[in-house]
């Protein structure tokens, strides 16, 4: 029997077409749905049409034991009430835009300023009611013999201050090698900035099991983008060599997080964009690897994007109680958000984020899971 708070794994069979069940009522009376994508070995993902949120992801440890490795709530009400973007699709533009303004083709646009790091206002993750707060149209699919889910959304011109009507498609699909692939695409009828990502928080020991400081991270990035007091990139592409930002060789996330370093102090930990090697690409390439020594779980991140935001749950403060009934404290989850660089629309040397009519925005990311033996 399936319940709202638990996936009951069936190891002998896979559901080729995602199944759906109610996930709760939205304030306007509409019902959010929860879709289960399941593989034959028990690997499974639950995704809501509200915000395109990855609600649960069950991955096995070295003994084959499944655990939910993503932070979040047990029903839609939690996400509506207060969520630091747990598992959600964020857009039109993920990350921060300085001052909530940009100029495009000679016209200045003003966006909502919904974030104030260091007391300095900025636009964050699409604004007050970004894509994480939308009910997407959902279509269960079978893709290459495995479960998939297509989500679509139309963002009208002027929404959150952005120009152009944007039509967005996101497809979540299981892969043959125990991965969750996310394919993003979008078109527009007027020039507009676009940079989509997913904001899943991971803990490979299992959600609600404590901090992630012992997880070991490898990041294929020789440079990162330092930030000012408002967490906006300065425009510099700084070398990670000799700094706490060097994860070219694996390091425990907590090994240097407490070091006296201006950038760590500004971010209250890691909250920085890393410049990926040999990116962007047409197909996803390996960007990062995280391993958790006690369970043996491993997560690899592959992407076509030129950057990835590494965030260490710095603003989790114990006020949110997650699915397992445990409060989420600082450092209880980490994010690896594949992206174009923050504030690219105001930084001409950064990768371009402007989508124009006749073009199609495309991006792909894979979160792939395995276990050490």
C-alpha triplet 140, 145, 147: angle, nearest 5°: 30
Contact predicate 132/126, CB 8 Å? yes
Contact predicate 132/158, CB 8 Å? no
Nearest to 40 by CA among 15, 7, 59: 15
Q: How many CB atoms lie within 10 A of CB 228?
A: 14
Catalytic residue among 46, 123, 160, 199: 199
Kindly provide the b/e burial profile for residues 240-271, where b requires at least 16 CB atoms within 10 angstroms of the residue's own CB: beeebbbbeeebebeebbeeeeebbebbebbb
In 226-306, DSSP assigns E strands to: 238-239, 251-252, 271-275, 285-291, 297-303
Can you name the residues that pair with 179 across neighbouring β-strands?
Answer: 368
220 is catalytic: no
- Concatenating the DSSP letter of every residue in 336-368 gives EEEESPTTGGG-TTSPP-EE-TT--EEEEEEEE
292 is catalytic: no
Collect contacts of 231-236 with beta carbons under 8 A, ≥24 apart.
Answer: 231/96, 231/117, 231/118, 231/122, 231/266, 231/267, 231/271, 232/96, 232/98, 232/120, 232/122, 232/342, 232/343, 233/273, 233/341, 233/342, 233/343, 233/347, 233/350, 235/347, 235/349, 235/350
Query: Catalytic site residues?
Result: 199, 337
């Amino acid at each position: 029997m399936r319940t709202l708070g638990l996936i009951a794994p069936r190891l002998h069979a896979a559901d080729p077409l995602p199944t759906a069940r109610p996930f709760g009522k939205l304030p306007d009376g509409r019902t959010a749905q929860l879709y289960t994508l399941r593989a034959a070995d028990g690997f499974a993902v639950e995704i809501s049409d509200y915000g395109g949120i990855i609600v649960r992801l069950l991955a096995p440890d070295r003994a084959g034991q499944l655990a939910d490795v993503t932070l979040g709530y047990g029903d839609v009400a939690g996400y509506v009430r207060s969520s630091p973007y747990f598992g959600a699709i964020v857009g039109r533009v993920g990350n921060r835009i300085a001052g909530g303004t940009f100029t495009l083709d000679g016209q200045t646009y003003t966006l909502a300023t919904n974030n104030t790091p260091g007391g300095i206002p900025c636009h964050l993750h699409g604004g007050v009611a970004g894509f994480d707060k939308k009910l997407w149209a959902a279509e269960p699919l079978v893709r290459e013999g495995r479960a998939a889910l297509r989500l679509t959304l139309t963002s009208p011109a002027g929404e959150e201050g952005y120009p152009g009507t944007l039509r967005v498609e996101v497809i979540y699909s299981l892969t043959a090698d125990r991965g969750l692939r996310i394919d993003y695409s979008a078109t527009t009828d007027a020039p507009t900035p676009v940079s989509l990502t997913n904001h899943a928080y991971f803990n490979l020991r299992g959600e609600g099991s404590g901090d992630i400081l012992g997880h070991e991270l490898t990041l294929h990035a020789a440079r990162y983008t330092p930030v000012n007091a408002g967490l906006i990139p300065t425009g510099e592409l700084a070398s990670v060599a000799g700094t706490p930002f060097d994860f070219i060789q694996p390091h425990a996330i907590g090994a240097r997080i407490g070091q006296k370093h201006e950038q760590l102090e500004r971010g209250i930990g890691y909250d920085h964009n890393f410049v990926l090697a040999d990116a962007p690409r047409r197909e996803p390439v390996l960007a990062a690897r995280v391993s958790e020594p006690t369970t043996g779980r491993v997560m690899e991140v592959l992407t076509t994007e030129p950057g990835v935001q590494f965030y260490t749950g710095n603003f989790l403060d114990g006020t949110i109680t997650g699915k397992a009934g445990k409060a989420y404290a600082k450092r209880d989850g980490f994010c690896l958000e594949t992206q174009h660089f923050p504030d690219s629309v105001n930084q001409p040397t950064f990768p371009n984020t402007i989508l124009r009519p006749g073009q199609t925005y495309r991006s792909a990311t894979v979160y792939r899971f395995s276990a050490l033996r």
